[in-house]
Chains A and B, each alone.
Chain A
């Protein structure tokens, strides 16, 4: 059916169409400069410049050899720039390269379409790197320009100037995309959200951030220098006190004398999932529920790691997450995008009142040698004290009473005997030092204990009524297993620097001035700027919670809220109804639905009159005068001749002698006559 359309010379792209394409290419490629090798940009500009030069007649079409050379140069450059193959990033770089070079040879409409389509794909691809509001807005602009280019490939109005053409196409593209928004939103909200179909290649530039799965004193200190957001939390009920906010992430069981790790062998994500599904699985009966629950929703920033941070123990949790025997909650995938979690925690519940022997073994592990002074100290203190509880208090009191300092600038420790060095020599450190040495002393005295890594506290945003937890809130503390009480959380840092848990890190190191060292802190000290920062952050949080965090769970909740019980019929009715409204809206907006409504009533009636007569075999010729037609019809249908003549007379009166006062009366007459006729 399109056979007529392929002929002629209009398969070639016009000059303005080509300018369009180049503009669209540049717009699409610009943001990738932030994520991909920078030299791609001049290469792209070179290709575009050449193209323009060719178009203006200054140069000939580049030869095959040259194109091949450029392509090899580009691909070689990609290899040399250290991109991993295969990775999503390498794919985007290749796509970008092809996208740029395509402009060297775009002549035909089909090539132009390929360019525009790749452009659309790249716009989406960029959202894998960043999903900020700004990136979203930029994406919208890119879509408008690409759609304008798409329209430009179809038509150029010779009567318009180039500027008029551009403005016209751009406006049309913007209007069309705007009109698409309702349907897009409908699809966004109601289209089924599926679980990932296969595992994803990582974006290599997305370095893993946040808490790592191993702790050497020093790690957390570097996190303390980062003002990046870790996650935000909204509480359903009242906000718990600041010193209750222990966001529990990882449990570090194994100590090798230098470094704390989860297990002796560090499992990868797949192994970890296997472990958590089998021998290390969470048993709900390990928790004795007590106290009031805390309900909350958290949106975690993408970290490239699967760890999630919750108040412990978490009992009800929604989403694609796993729970382990150590009460941790983790995502089934590494976080490539912000993740929304709804959870309910019972901080006062008892955990593991009966401790499984495998867990006990893990919680008593110590390296075979080293740190002899600390081991001696533990045994001595344990013998001096009558009970485990008294021993714990004694160790904490020692931290408090001896010359221990909380600092983000501790002296570096050696490779071995680190606990000894810290406890007896430097006596300066932060949470990691205190938690590590505390657990060591517990284990050395035969008390099961483990290090917990996560975040503590957070910044309350009154504008948005949520808690923002940043990387500098990273923290490590200890859990000790006690008969009858199960796992008890103990934070040795709180003993040395109570401000750390009550007011946050900034207050704890105020004297030292090491908080966010080397960063521009000005906004934090100017109240109005701080307010603005909170407002902006609140907007971002809304964006993350409602747009980026919109997943299967949120979708189900929303559907429940709108429809009550979910049945296929209800969902279909709702979606179908909205769809019909949108389509009708389109018809109205495009002026496709009002043709008949606009026609004056008498003309509508006359058309009905003609239709009735046509059924009886008297067909009005196009352009035939009503009078002449009336004569013909009256002759053909003598029985109705009076009605036909009367109708025509009234109709002609209305047409040729319009009289506003008699309009209603006349149209009534017409209707009555029509009734008699039919």
Chain B
């Protein structure tokens, strides 16, 4: 029953607050209620009213009515403090499952306005308090915990303020159209102990041109070839310059191959591959990745690592 209600409420909020790259808060999106402090003041206003009645004291009445007016006016101020605030998606930094994803968002307001004590965050997660007092735009980073690899869509952000007097609470939810990647949690499995003999490398190497170890043949000289690779013997015979060609073999490269992992379960394999990617990257090795339906040629460097991790993160994840 409660869950059904919650679901309906969520659906309603979703429909009322559609997601976008950028959202400007306006009266349609801002909800406002008296805060506990406000209710406390209301109680005191009642007390003062009784005092005013019993002592027939005009000035006590005046204080009582003044505070009541303040309570009302403050609602407008609190509302204004949110109204006109533009929240935009900037990006989500990738992270590993179980770690915190850092979500960066931009806040801006019209030049004529100033905003104070804006509170952004998720219930139970990270939250920050921001002022737009001297600048009209700023960026904030919020972190959100992740549990699962794959795409990470930050949940709707709770934007709230009690400024100026704390007597009212204005809030809105902003669902930003932004996605981050959550890599699998790197967990290495010591599976060789289980007696399997698979290696991470491949025998049937691909040639990598420009190597220097094994002799690969002779070809015509091209300007720029190193003098030490010139086949002087052939030059003596033919009077033409030839260059000796050497090649490195991919058998020196490391392959991370899904199919050769004797591990049970998709996530376990992905976690293991993830840890290996990190390990090889750390060791500055040249490595490739083979996943069912996707092969990434060996390589190294940050870009390569990111490509591999992304492939691991999105393995089996449908777009959308």
Q: Interface on A for B, CB 8 Å cutoff?
A: 1-5, 7-8, 10, 113, 117, 120-121, 123-125, 127-128, 131, 135-136, 139, 143, 147, 150-151, 153-155, 157-160, 172, 176-177, 179-181, 183-184, 187-188, 191, 193-198, 200, 333, 336-337, 339, 547-551, 586-587, 590-592, 622
B65 x A187 contact (CB < 8 A): yes
Q: Given that A124-B60, A188-B65, A197-B54 are contacting pairs, would A622 and B22 also be in contact in the complex, using a CB cutoff of 8 Å?
A: yes
B70 x A180 contact (CB < 8 A): yes
Which one of B52, B65, B131 has the highest number of Cβ atoms from chain A below 10 Å of its Cβ?
B65
- CB < 8 Å: which of B53, B122, B124, B169 contacts A2? B169
A159 x B133 contact (CB < 8 A): yes
Q: How far is the CB of A302 from chain B (nearest CB, A)?
A: 10
Q: How far is the CA of A181 from the CA of B129 in the complex (A)?
A: 32
Ordered nearest first, which 5 A-B pairs have the shortest CB separation? A180-B69, A187-B65, A155-B117, A127-B59, A183-B69
Q: Given that A4-B122, A121-B47, A586-B73 are contacting pairs, would A128 and B166 also be in contact in the complex, using a CB cutoff of 8 Å?
A: no
Chain B's closest residue to A179 (CB) is B73
Looking at B77-85, B183-191, B235-243, B249-257, the stretch in contact with chain A turns out to be B77-85
A1 x B124 contact (CB < 8 A): no
B127 x A120 contact (CB < 8 A): no
Q: Given that A10-B129, A151-B165, A187-B65 are contacting pairs, would A5 and B119 also be in contact in the complex, using a CB cutoff of 8 Å?
A: yes
A337 x B58 contact (CB < 8 A): yes
User: Within 8 Å CB of B54, what residues of A?
Assistant: 196-198, 200
Q: Given that A121-B48, A622-B22 are contacting pairs, would A4 and B158 also be in contact in the complex, using a CB cutoff of 8 Å?
A: yes
12 A-B pairs (CB sep. < 8 Å): A113-B40, A120-B44, A121-B48, A124-B52, A128-B60, A150-B166, A154-B116, A184-B65, A184-B66, A200-B54, A337-B55, A622-B20
Which one of A5, A550, A590 has the highest number of Cβ atoms from chain B below 10 Å of its Cβ?
A5
B160 x A155 contact (CB < 8 A): no
Q: How far is the CA of A179 from the CA of B56 in the complex (A)?
A: 26
Q: Given that A159-B134, A177-B70 are contacting pairs, would A3 and B124 also be in contact in the complex, using a CB cutoff of 8 Å?
A: yes
Q: How far is the CA of A508 from the CA of B57 in the complex (A)?
A: 38
Residues of chain B at interface, number, CB under 8 A: 66
User: Within 8 Å CB of A10, what residues of B?
Assistant: 129
User: Within 8 Å CB of B119, what residues of A?
Assistant: 4-5
A592 x B73 contact (CB < 8 A): no
A155 x B163 contact (CB < 8 A): yes
- CB < 8 Å: which of A123, A154, A155, A193 contacts B63? A123
Q: Given that A117-B41, A121-B47 are contacting pairs, would A154 and B61 also be in contact in the complex, using a CB cutoff of 8 Å?
A: no
Q: Given that A8-B127, A183-B69, A587-B76 are contacting pairs, would A172 and B58 also be in contact in the complex, using a CB cutoff of 8 Å?
A: no
Q: How far is the CA of A180 from the CA of B70 in the complex (A)?
A: 6
Q: How far is the CA of A89 from the CA of B127 in the complex (A)?
A: 46
Q: How far is the CA of A200 from the CA of B60 in the complex (A)?
A: 15
Q: Given that A121-B48, A147-B165, A176-B70 are contacting pairs, would A4 and B63 also be in contact in the complex, using a CB cutoff of 8 Å?
A: no
User: Within 8 Å CB of B124, what residues of A?
Assistant: 3, 7
User: Within 8 Å CB of A336, what residues of B?
Assistant: 55-57
B76 x A159 contact (CB < 8 A): no
User: Within 8 Å CB of A586, what residues of B?
Assistant: 73, 76
User: Within 8 Å CB of B271, what residues of A?
Assistant: none
Which one of B35, B58, B65, B131 has the highest number of Cβ atoms from chain A below 10 Å of its Cβ?
B58
- CB < 8 Å: which of B53, B72, B134 contacts A183? B72
Asked if B162 is at the interface (CB within 8 A of a chain A CB), the reply is yes
- CB < 8 Å: which of B44, B59, B127 contacts A117? B44
A591 x B80 contact (CB < 8 A): yes
Q: How far is the CA of A131 from the CA of B59 in the complex (A)?
A: 7
Q: How far is the CA of A172 from the CA of B113 in the complex (A)?
A: 14
B55 x A1 contact (CB < 8 A): no
B57 x A127 contact (CB < 8 A): yes
A147 x B70 contact (CB < 8 A): yes
User: Within 8 Å CB of A128, what residues of B?
Assistant: 51, 55, 57, 60
Given contacts A5-B169, A113-B166, 12 further A-B contacts (CB under 8 A): A4-B121, A8-B127, A120-B48, A139-B59, A184-B69, A188-B65, A200-B54, A586-B76, A591-B112, A591-B113, A592-B76, A592-B79
B169 x A1 contact (CB < 8 A): yes
